[in-house]
Every structure is written in C-alpha cells, then in structure tokens.
Structure 1
Amino acid sequence: MFKPRNRLQRQYGSARSLQFKVPLLLMSLILIVVALVVLFGKNGDRSDLMSELLNQKWNSYESSVQLNPTVEFTNGTDLIWQIPNSPKAVLFLAHGCNGRAANFWDKSPKCRNCFGLPEERLIVLHALARKFAVLAISSKGRCWSLGEERWIVKHIIQSWIDKQMLGKLPTFALGASSGGYFVSVLAMELRFKSIALMIAAGVFSHLDITKNYPPTIFVHMPKDRARKRKIEKYLVVMREKGIDVAEIKCTEFPLTPHFFANRIPGLDITLSEKLFNCFKENGFIDENGYMRDDGRAIPWKTALEEKGISLPDKSLVNHIQEEMNLAFAYHEMTSLQSKQIFDWFESHIV
C-alpha cells in the first residue's frame, strides 16, 4: 500500500480522502431522507384514506340510494334482488358459509327476514349507486356445493335476467369465501364479464381454464398466508394463459371509540365507546387499538355481560363480530375496497 512520505503528504492524503467521502456521505443521507419521505408519505396517504372510510357514518352511503329489495322463493331457495333506475350492469352476489341472501339487505316490510350485515349491505349500496342491478341467492346448504348447485344457480340467474329484461346488460359476479369458490366454478358455465373472488383463492387447480375465462380480481387478506400463496400462484398461471387478473390486498387497521357506531346501523356512539373501552380493558386490542385476534376467537360477549353492557338488539352480536373480524383482517367480507372492485368491473363492462 502506498504511504505518504511526510506529514504534509499525509495531511493532504487525508484531506483528499475526506473530500470524496463527505459528498458520498451527504448523498447517502439525502437518499435515505428522500426514501423515508416517499415511504411514509405513501403510507400516510393510505392511512388517511382508510381513516376517511372508517370514520364515514354508515348512513352517508345512503344519500343517493335506499335499500328496497324484492324477495322471491324459487327452485327451493331464496332470491333477493334490487334494480336501480337505468341499470348498466347485473351483479350476482354469493355469500360465504353460514350466510344467506338476506344478509345483503336491511330488514324491511318487503324483506322481514333480511338481516343487513354491515359489510354486505354496504357492498349492495355501492353496487346500486354505480347502477348495477343486484341479485343475491341463498345456497341450499351451509356452504355452496360445486356440483349440481351451479346448474341450478345458472338457470335461476338466466331466468331472472330474462324476466327482468336485462339480457342486453353485462353480467358480473362477486363471491366471498365459499361463495368465491362457487363463483370460480360457475364462471365456467355462465359467461361473466368479470368476477371478484373475495377471501377465496378459487379452485383453479381443478379447472381447465383458458384465455376465455372471465377477468378475475382477487380481494384477499394477506394475513391468511396459505390463501395468499395460492392466489400468488394462480395470478402467475392465469396471466400465462392470457387471462386479465389483479389483486386487492386488505390489511388490518385499529379500532377507535366511534368505529362500531360508524359501521353498524342501530348502534350509537355511547355504546360504541363502551365496546371499545371494554375491549381495551380486557386486552382484546393492543395499546394501538389493533385486534389481537378475530371476533370468532375472543370471549367478548362474556366480557360485555360481566361489564353489564347490553345491546339494544341481540342480532347486533353478529354485526359487531363481523366488524371485529374485518379489523383483524384474516377472513371476512369487506366493503372498504368497493371502489376498487367496481372500478375493476367497469373497466371490463364493454
């Protein structure tokens, strides 16, 4: 190694070395700062958007449309539907296990058995606001079967479309969980313009799909790693076959004192604050408000009883649990991504 021969040379050598090191150090610091600004700026935008959605009162979605369904019983199952003025498309909705068509609309004189779960009803409101005629059918069993039932549902959908004179409109489908797997199979028999599979990977390893298969968007929760891996695999396989595919990732978010009042009709701010405080005191949420587990695994109903907190309607138990599951983001119906879903549908409407 070359060494300066005297003190002046050593000083000069050190200064020259420092001359090059300082700009590099400054450049590195600048790049780090820029990266942090970009990273946290984007996260901030996403956080602000999520905060806006979560803090939006449930009835603000009803400013332009009201839930007013028609109920029928045909082929041994429930058929519930609503058509907006001047519809531009048809949307078939398939519920998950233990669900039913009645979950998508509020109880009313025309639908006395309707249940109106918060996420399901908001999906319908979004659909109607975007001028989609909405049709929901109840599965015959606890979950959807992938055999004969698809032929029955295909016939029901086609007959309903003909009866309502909607045959010239494009048809779409959205299925959640068991309903998502069912829609992935039904799409082999009924030509949809596009489908959305929510918290479901589909059964594509058992289907001989081609480039004519409908464009598909996966709306999933990456915390469910097994399903996430399957979806990642199917995205690659389907793209290789020439199928237009995309994904929407739904992540967890913290609860707030007004969260339940904002999301659930019939639950006021006072009760929402009591629920939040109860969950916090019992350790169901962490110091930042995030759920430690989903609503199905937490003894929150017992905690309410011990605190003497009563609900104005016992049916709200299912509504509260759905929103807890949504916040935990492992496996639940979600309306928070409705804009992206319907933007995807509309991009394939022609």
Structure 2
Amino acid sequence: MEWASNTLGCISGSVFYTISSGFRIVEERLIALHALARKFAVLTISSAGTCGAMGKEIIVVKDIIRWWVEKNKLEKLPLVAKGASSGRYFVSVLATVLKFNSIAIMIAEGLFDQMKIESYPPTLFMHMPKDIVRQKKIDKHMKILKKKGVDVAEIECMEFPLSPHLLADRIPGLDQSVSAKLFELFRKKGFIDENGYMKNDGRKTRWKEAVRESKIVSLDDHLTHYIQEELNLAFAYHEMASLHADRMFKWFESHMK
C-alpha cells in the first residue's frame, strides 16, 4: 500500500523520523509510524515555497509521486493521501489531477466550493469541532461531496487532559521528571483545570514565560516547539493529531479496491 503525506508550505524537510533527524512535527512522526506499522510505503512532500503555495506545485507534486511510485515499482498498489498543515488544502486539489483510492484532510475544509468535482475519491475529514467556523464549512463541503456521490466520513478530534507523564510519553527526548514538573507548573499557574484540561489554546497560554521564570524546570529550547504542539492538541482547537490514526488507516484500508 502506498501513502503520500503532504505537509506543504508551513513545514519544510523530512518530518517522519527522530528529533535528531530534524523532524518538525511530533504528531506527523507518530502518524508515519502508524503507517509503517500497517505496511504502508510512505512518501512525504513539503513545499519549497510559502505556506499555502499552489499553482505549478500541483503538477510538480503529481510528477514527484508518479516518479516515486515507478521508481519503487509500486504501480499496482493502491494510493492514498493525507493532507495536513497547508497541505490539507493542497491534497483536496491534487485529488482532481491524480488518482487516489481515498484521501484524508486534517483540520481543514478543503477547497471543494472552488473547483469541479468529477470522479472524486472517498474523502475523510479529521477535524476539531471546537473550531465552529471550520466545522460549518466542513459540513457544507461534506454535503457538496455527497451530492456528487462521493463516499464521505468524518472523525472528530476532541480535547483531552494532560497528565504528569503525557508530554514525555508523546515527545521523544523529553524526560519523565521534566514532564511531571511541567504538569505541576501548569497546574500551579492555572493553565489547566482540576481535571488536567487546558483552559485555553496552547498558543494563547503564556507557558513559555512561566518556564523561563521557573527555577524548578530546566527545558531545552529545541523541545518548546514540540511541547507547544501537544498543548495545542490537548486543547483541540486547531492542530494536527495522531490520536485517531488507526481509524484513518482503517478508512484507507476499507477503500483499497
């Protein structure tokens, strides 16, 4: 089985390996590990341009995928795609010029109201209902696709509580003791409620300042990006998520024929 993951624009370089190899997205790495465990061949593509770039990159990416498939002699296998970051819009357009067995679009509504939809592949929307504006757009686009006879489904990603060891469990290189100290600091500063839920989106939480001012937490600077990502995910407003990766791959596998 082949799998093309598109993180065009906002992320550059390979994102599927270890921190030491330079991956930028913790959740993307976890999704890739799920894919490999299920015997998918994985290709990830990032934009050389700016976030949200389209234009000729559609043709470039189509050619890259075809070249990679031929190079690895995978022509007879099903092809699926996941779009995240600005690639979530890109994949919705790419599916009009490249034949996929199915696609998944993460935390986005796609561009279905701006393009012709003919012979479109089954489409899975993975989103966070807390983003009400985006939820309404997704509902609208699901109706558009269904009217065209496209098989459509959605997976809702909900908020979840932090725990003393959660960050260490999800971020390679983050020590368990540091994770526990961060949890206690967040509790003390009122960033989380009595049940461990984030009170606000991680982007709007002044946790970095709290860490710098704290004398009990020593945190490597390179880990702050990954921690930020996981706090965003826990609040569940707008962030890539691997939590339902198994369901996504079951969706892909159910549309392989």
TM-score of the alignment, normalized to the shorter chain, above 0.5: yes
Matched, 1:302 2:209: yes
- Root-mean-square deviation (CA, aligned residues, Å) is 1.3
Matched, 1:203 2:111: yes
Cα separation, partners in 2 of 1:303 and 1:291, compared to 1, 3 Å: same
Letter in 2 for 1:307: S
* Correspondence list, 1:203-242, <5 A: 203-210=111-118, 212-242=119-149
TM-fit CA distance, 1:146: 2.2
CA distance, structure 2, for counterparts of residue 96 and residue 228 of structure 1: 22
Matched, 1:181 2:54: no
SS at match of 1:173: strand
CA distance, structure 1, for counterparts of residue 31 and residue 168 of structure 2: 18
Instruction: Tell me which residue corresponds to 2:229.
Output: 322
Aligned length: 256
Q: 2:53 aligns with which of 117, 120, 145?
A: 145
Letter in 1 for 2:99: R
TM-fit CA distance, 1:135: 0.3
Letter in 1 for 2:127: H
CA distance, structure 2, for counterparts of residue 300 and residue 163 of structure 1: 46
* Correspondence list, 1:93-104, <5 A: 93-95=5-7, 97-104=9-16
SS at match of 2:14: helix
CA distance, structure 2, for counterparts of residue 248 and residue 337 of structure 1: 8
Letter in 2 for 1:252: E
Instruction: Tell me which residue corresponds to 2:30.
Output: 122
Q: TM-score, normalised by structure 1?
A: 0.71
Asked whether the equivalents of residues 105 and 116 of structure 1 are also in contact (C-alpha less than 8 Å), the reply is no
Letter in 2 for 1:95: T
TM-fit CA distance, 1:100: 2.4
Flag the structure with larger Rg: 1
* Correspondence list, 1:1-350, <5 A: 89-95=1-7, 97-107=9-19, 112=21, 114-115=22-23, 117-210=25-118, 212-308=119-215, 309-311=217-219, 313-350=220-257
CA distance, structure 1, for counterparts of residue 53 and residue 25 of structure 2: 23
Q: TM-score, normalised by structure 2?
A: 0.96
TM-fit CA distance, 1:116: 5.5
TM-fit CA distance, 1:142: 3.2
Instruction: Tell me which residue corresponds to 1:36.
Output: none
Q: Of the two structures, which has the highest relative contact order with CA contacts closer than 8 Å and spacing of 6 or more?
A: 2
CA distance, structure 1, for counterparts of residue 58 and residue 13 of structure 2: 16
Q: Deviations over 1:307-344 (max 9, x none)?
A: 12222x32111110110010000111111001110000
Letter in 1 for 2:143: V
CA distance, structure 1, for counterparts of residue 62 and residue 23 of structure 2: 25
Q: Which runs of 5+ in 2 are unaligned?
A: none
CA distance, structure 2, for counterparts of residue 250 and residue 219 of structure 1: 7
Instruction: Tell me which residue corresponds to 1:42.
Output: none
Percent identical pairs in the alignment equals 55
Structure with bigger helix share is 1
Q: Identify which range, 161-170 or 91-100, moves more after superposition.
A: 91-100
Letter in 2 for 1:91: W
TM-fit CA distance, 1:107: 4.4
Q: Deviations over 1:83-111 (max 9, x none)?
A: xxxxxx11111126521242222145xxx
Q: Which runs of 5+ in 1 are unaligned?
A: 1-88
Q: Deviations over 1:269-328 (max 9, x none)?
A: 2111110011111111122211122222111111011112222x3211111011001000
